[in-house]
Amino acid sequence: MVAKVPTEMRAKFTPAQLYYEILQYRWKISEESGQDIGIRPAADEYVEKVLGSKPDERTIITTTDSDDVNET
């Protein structure tokens, strides 16, 4: 499943989290359609329609250190 994700999108989630996200998506679309959607079609659709809009999990967040702020 994870191998189907384009390389540039693999920083979005860890492999385990990505698998979980796909399972959740599969459940959602299966419920909406009233029929069981296979894991592979669900994974393909998830990558195509959802994953691109997710932020990278491995993004480094920087903050301003309070020592660098001038207090007046």
Q: Indicate the range of 1-5, 37-41, 45-49, 57-61 predicted with least confidence.
A: 57-61
Whole-number pLDDT of residue 8 = 74
What's the pTM value of the predicted model, to 2 decimals?
Answer: 0.69
Question: If you average pLDDT over residues 44-72, what whole number do you get?
Answer: 68
Residue for token pair 């660098």: 68
CA angle 52, 53, 56 (to 5 degrees): 80
| Spatial distance between the Cα atoms of 52 and 23, rounded to a whole number of angstroms | 17
Question: Are the C-beta atoms of residues 13 and 21 closer than 8 Å to each other?
Answer: yes
Backbone angles phi, psi at 54, to 5 degrees: -80, 145
Which has the higher per-residue pLDDT, 30 or 70?
A: 30
pLDDT tens-digit map of 20-53: 999 999 999 999 999 999 999 999 998 889 887 7
